[in-house]
Amino acid sequence: MLKKISDTCVKIVQNLLPDAFIFCIILTIVVFIFAMPAAHATPLQVINFWGSNVWSLLAFSMQMALVLVLGTAMANAPAVKRLLAKIAGAAKSPSSGIVLVTVVATIASWLNWGFGLVVGALLAKEIARKVQGVDYRLLIASAYSGFVLWHAGLSGSIPLQIASVNETVTQQTAGVITESIPLTETVLAPWNLIVCLVILILMPLVNAKMHPAPQDTVTIDPKLLVDDEVVDMKATTIAEKLENSRILSLFIVVVGVIYLVQYFISSGSVLNSLSLNIVNLIFLLIGVLLHGKPINYVRAISAAAKGAGGIILQFPFYAGIMGMMTGHLPDSTASLAGVISNFFVSISNQVTFPVWTFLSAGIVNFFVPSGGGQWAVQAPIVLPASVEVGVSPALACMGIAWGDQWTNMLQPFWALPALGIAGLGARDIMGYCVVDLILTGIVAIVGFIVVGMMGF
């Protein structure tokens, strides 16, 4: 039964899903059309909403690009590659390979979304080399499926933002959040860990059950997956000796570690003081250390930067979409995002509020596939409403975060890095991801209903 569902989803997606950039343009058109009546604006005014916001996410875009590039460079370090090869050796059959890559990718994505995307894809390629008869499309889809827990993990942008509250966060939440909310109330809250654990157990089993029959399996020649070997040339000039000096790399690592120790001591807690910038610094230092020679890390970063092309191209368009979603006239507060969020808020009570927040965030995520962008769109609406219905701000924020990560299984934007590593297109994997969307949606809804009934 599950195979029939997944096969049907694969066929539908392959026929209907265009390239990720085309998908972005289509979303722009859809939002443009619906933003006019929602905001009571003219076409020219909506165009101004778009144009005035195209470059509004530059700083955040750089942060996201660095998470991806630094995570990729770290994952491509020789020590990490050897570890992945050993892990891949544990897979003895197509089903065990699917389970293994799903588990590793999910845990890695929970720890850091950029690292998870890359590690999952690299492990999938290793398994494809070693295991005969495994479907390559499903293998990469399983690697990407782990991304469905990124925003409930340690690199989630919303939990990290509210863990270090500043004036901007207070303004974004309409004055609701004035003090920092520690990760122990969001990412590390017992209910969140339990829901993540249930998905970590169920999703690998579901992915394995979706494996096509032998006659329908799409495999790949292992010879095509062999990476080019990096040959270290003997340093002869002063410049080359500096480029290959491990002492220089070690100096940077020591300086960075000293700073981090001081930072965490002054903050009073490691987990509660993590931010996107600190996470990026940690991955930068680990990458420099693992690659040893400075020039090796330079090459790794140069190679990793290619995977950020999708972010660089599409983020301005999604920023423009966000502008149209939130744009309103000077004498009004009506906007398309407001219409969507207010509708779900209006039908909510203390028990159902987390679920409706989750679902509304899932819808908004189609148009604003960015944790930071999602936060900017929904926080001013959801947070004040959470106070009115008696739901904690921490739970409301996690409702947004879960909705944001959930529909990434249908939004090809974040699959670009993994697809680039694998050499596949979005339509090759999204059919399988639809099944994961359904599974994780059911688990999340049940979890939020229980949490809502418990009165968090």
Taking only the tens place, the pLDDT of each residue in 133-187 is 999 999 999 999 999 999 999 888 899 888 877 787 887 787 888 888 988 999 9
What does the pLDDT look like over 233-263, one tens digit per residue? Answer: 677 788 888 888 999 999 999 999 999 999 9
Let me know if residue 421 belongs to a domain.
yes
| pLDDT band for position 328 (cuts 50, 70, 90) | confident
Let me know if residue 231 belongs to a domain.
no
Let me know if residue 233 belongs to a domain.
no
Instruction: Return all residues near 340 (Cβ < 8 A) that are at least 6 apart.
Output: 360, 363, 364
Spatial distance between the Cα atoms of 222 and 216, rounded to a whole number of angstroms: 18
What does the pLDDT look like over 399-441, one tens digit per residue? Answer: 999 999 999 998 766 777 677 777 787 788 888 999 999 999 9
Q: Is the pLDDT of residue 226 over 70?
A: no
pTM of the predicted protein model: 0.80
Let me know if residue 247 belongs to a domain.
yes
| pLDDT band for position 65 (cuts 50, 70, 90) | confident
* pLDDT the model gives residue 367: 74
Using DSSP's 3-state secondary structure scheme, residue 1 falls into coil
Spatial distance between the Cα atoms of 164 and 292, rounded to a whole number of angstroms: 33
Long-range contacts, 162-168 (Cβ 8 Å, 24+): 162/186, 162/393, 162/394, 162/397, 163/272, 163/273, 163/274, 163/275, 164/273, 164/275
The residue whose two tokens read 């960075």 is 256
Let me know if residue 190 belongs to a domain.
yes
Let me know if residue 355 belongs to a domain.
yes
Section 119-126 average pLDDT: 87
Lowest mean pLDDT among 38-42, 55-59, 411-415: 411-415
Helices (H), 306-425: 309-326, 336-346, 353-367, 371-389, 393-406, 416-422
Let me know if residue 232 belongs to a domain.
no
Spatial distance between the Cα atoms of 147 and 107, rounded to a whole number of angstroms: 9
Q: Specify the DSSP element, H or E, that contains 20.
A: helix 20-39
Instruction: Output b/e per residue, 333-371; b: 16+ Cβ within 10 A.
Output: eebbbbebbbebbeebeebbbbbbbbbbbbebbbbbbbb
* pLDDT the model gives residue 113: 81
Quick count: other Cβ atoms within 10 Å of Cβ 3?
13
DSSP string, 124-187: HHHHHHHSTT--HHHHHHHHHHGGGGGGGSTT-HHHHHHHS--HHHHHHTTTS--S---GGGTT
Let me know if residue 229 belongs to a domain.
no
* pLDDT the model gives residue 42: 94
Q: Which domain holds residue 94?
A: 2-221+240-453
Burial class (CB in 10 A: 0-12, 13-18, 19+), 266: exposed
| Residue 427, token pair as written in the block | 């339509």
Instruction: Write the CA distances from 360 to 261, 276, 372, 374, 434, integer angstroms.
Output: 40, 25, 16, 11, 18
Q: Domain count of the chain? A: 1
Spatial distance between the Cα atoms of 337 and 348, rounded to a whole number of angstroms: 17
| Residue 78, token pair as written in the block | 């020789």
| pLDDT band for position 223 (cuts 50, 70, 90) | low
Lowest mean pLDDT among 43-47, 101-105, 252-256, 330-334: 330-334
Burial class (CB in 10 A: 0-12, 13-18, 19+), 264: middle
Lowest mean pLDDT among 20-24, 84-88, 174-178, 200-204: 20-24
